[in-house]
A and B are shown apart, each in its own frame.
Chain A
Amino acid sequence: MTQDPHPQPEPQPARDPDDHGDQRQGADGRGTPVGRRVVLGMLAAGAAGIAAAPLLQRAYDSTLGAAAQKDPTGLSGLLPAGGGFRYYSVTGSVPRKDERTYRLTVDGLVSRPATYRLADLRRLPQTRLVHDVQCVTGWRVPGTPFEGVRLGALLAAAGVHPQAGAVRFTCFDGSYTESLTLDQARRDDVLVALRMQDKPLGHDHGGPVRLYVAPMYFYKSAKWLSKITVTDRVEPGFWEERGYDVDAWVGRSNGRDDAPTT
C-alpha cells in the first residue's frame, strides 16, 4: 500500500504501535465532512435548477418533449411533462355513458329547460377549434382540435333569464363541478365538445361530452359533462374551492405565465 498523496484537512492522531498501515487510517467518525458538503451541494443545485428552469424547460420542449409527442411506445409518458394529455379524475371510478345512456340537462334560470341526447347534440351546428391545451400543472399539448356545439347556442335556445349572471357545470363522475360567468360562457371559443383530435371523445378524455373553454386552463374544461345550470352568480367549482382561480385565463391566473392559448 502506498501513502495517500492527498493532504488531510484535519490532523491525524498519532499512529499506534500495532497500526496495520494506512488501510486503517481515518477512524470512523473522523475525517473530511463530505456528507455536509453533499447536502449543501444538493441545496445549491436545487436553487440553481429553479433559476435555470425556464431555459432548461425550453431546451427540453424543443428536443425530447417534441419527440415525446410522437412517441409510439408511450414510455415518455413516464417522464415529467413528457407525453401529451394526462388523465386526471377527482373520483375513484367514473361511470361510462354512451349513445343510449348519456343525457345533458340545461336548467336553472332559463325559460325552456331541456335535455339533450348525444344524437340531439350532433344535429346542432358544430364548431371546430384548434388551439393549444394548457394544464395548470404545466403540461401543454399543441394544436389540439375540439369540435362541438357552442355553449352560447345552447344557452340561447334555453332562454336565459335577465337576472342570471353565471353558469354552473355538473359532471356525471359525481364530484366535479365548474363555473363560468355568463359573459365567459357566451364566448365563441367555449364549446360543449363531442369530438377531440377529430375523433369522438373517448371516456378517458371526458367523453362522450365535455366542456371546452379554449382561453382558460384546462381544469375549466370539465370532463364528463352532464348538467348546465344557469345561476345568478358564480359558484366556485371543485378545484376553485381548493385554491385555484375562478377566472382561469391561461397566462394571467394561478400565478403562471404560460403563453395564452387563444
Chain B
Amino acid sequence: MTSTPGSAARTDATMPRRPDGGAVGTPAGRIARFTPAERWVHRTTATLMSVCVLTAGCLYLPFLAELVGRRALMVTVHEWAGILLPVPLLLGLASRALRADLTRLNRYGPHDRRWLRAALRRHKGRRPAGKFNAGQKLYAAWIAGAVLVMLATGLLMWFPHLAPLLWRTGATFVHDWLALAVVVVVSGHVWKAYGEPEARRGMRTGAVDARWAEREHPLWEAPE
C-alpha cells in the first residue's frame, strides 16, 4: 500500500507518494521535512518553554532564587510566557503542512506499536517509522496535554479568587509535580535531538538527507 522509491508508477491519485528529493528549492539528495511556518512554531514554542522552565527555576530552586532574586519580575515573566505557550501552535494551524503533521502525529499504525515494543526492549535493529516515529508521536501528545494542564492549573494559581479554595490547593500540587515531569521529559526530547544531528538539521534548515530519511523514516509518505 505504500510505494518504495523505485515504484513510482502510481495511478491512484488518492494514494500518497514518497518524497523523492526533488521538491522545489531543496538541494539534490535532500528532502523537505518542515516548512518555515512549522520551524517558526517550533522555535517560538521552544523559546517560551525555556523561559517558563528558567523562570520556574528562579522561583523554586534555592540556589537560583538566591542568585537572581527579583521575585515579582520572575513571577510576571513566568505567567506571561506560560499563557503565550500554546499561541504559536494555534497560529500555526493556519498552515496546511502543520495540520498534516498533526494528523501524522495523532494517528498510530501497526508499525508504531512494533516501534514502541522494540524501543522498550532496546532492540538495536530496524524499527521502521513514518515521518515521525512512535516515540516522537508520544512525546508530542504528552507534552501537548501537559502544557494544557499546566496552563489550567497555572491560571487557577494566578487568579486565586477564580475557583473554590480546594481547587486552588490541588492546582498548586499538580502544577508543582507536573513541572518536574515536564522538565524530565523535555530534557529527554533535547537529549534525543542532541544525539541525532540530521533531525536537528531538519528542524533548523527544513530539509534532511534523503538517505537518512530512508533509513530512519522509511514509511514517510508525502501527500501528492
Contact = CB atoms under 8 A, between A and B. Distances in A.
Nearest to A242: B72
A162 interface: no
Nearest to B18: A28
Given A42-B146, A43-B148, A27 B2 contact: yes
Interface string B77-118: 000000000000000000000001001111111111100000
A86 B220 contact: no
A29 interface: yes
A80 B4 contact: no
B69 A94 contact: yes
A49 B171 CA distance: 8
B142 A38 contact: yes
Contact of A56 (B66, B146, B173, B223): B173
Report whether over half of chain A's contact residues are helix, strand or loop; otherwise say mixed: loop
A127 interface: no
A31 interface: yes
Given A25-B1, A87-B66, A88-B65, A35 B107 contact: yes
Contacts of A34: 106-108, 112, 137, 141
- Interface range on chain B: under 10, 10 to 19, 20 to 34, or 35 or more? 35 or more
Contacts of B166: 54, 257
Interface residues of A, number: 67
A111 interface: no
A28 B221 contact: yes
Interface in B40-70: 60-62, 65-66, 68-70
B173 A39 contact: no
B219 A24 contact: yes
A259 interface: no
A29 B104 contact: yes
Interface stretch (B28-36, B175-183, B194-202, B204-212): B175-183
A262 interface: no
Contact of A46 (B60, B111, B178, B179): B178
Contact of A35 (B111, B140, B219, B221): B140
B21 interface: no
Interface in A227-258: 238, 242-243, 254-257
Contacts of B131: 28
B74 to A, nearest CB: 10
A165 B142 CA distance: 54
Contacts of A114: none
A135 B141 CA distance: 35
Given A16-B3, A26-B111, A90 B69 contact: yes
A77 interface: yes
Contacts of B119: none
Nearest to A42: B145
Given A33-B106, A53-B169, A255-B160, 15 more contacts: A8-B110, A27-B219, A31-B107, A42-B145, A42-B149, A43-B149, A50-B167, A53-B174, A77-B62, A89-B66, A90-B71, A90-B72, A255-B168, A256-B165, A257-B166
19 contacts: A15-B1, A28-B109, A29-B100, A31-B108, A31-B109, A34-B141, A38-B141, A40-B145, A43-B145, A46-B174, A52-B170, A53-B171, A53-B172, A54-B169, A77-B61, A90-B69, A92-B70, A93-B69, A257-B166
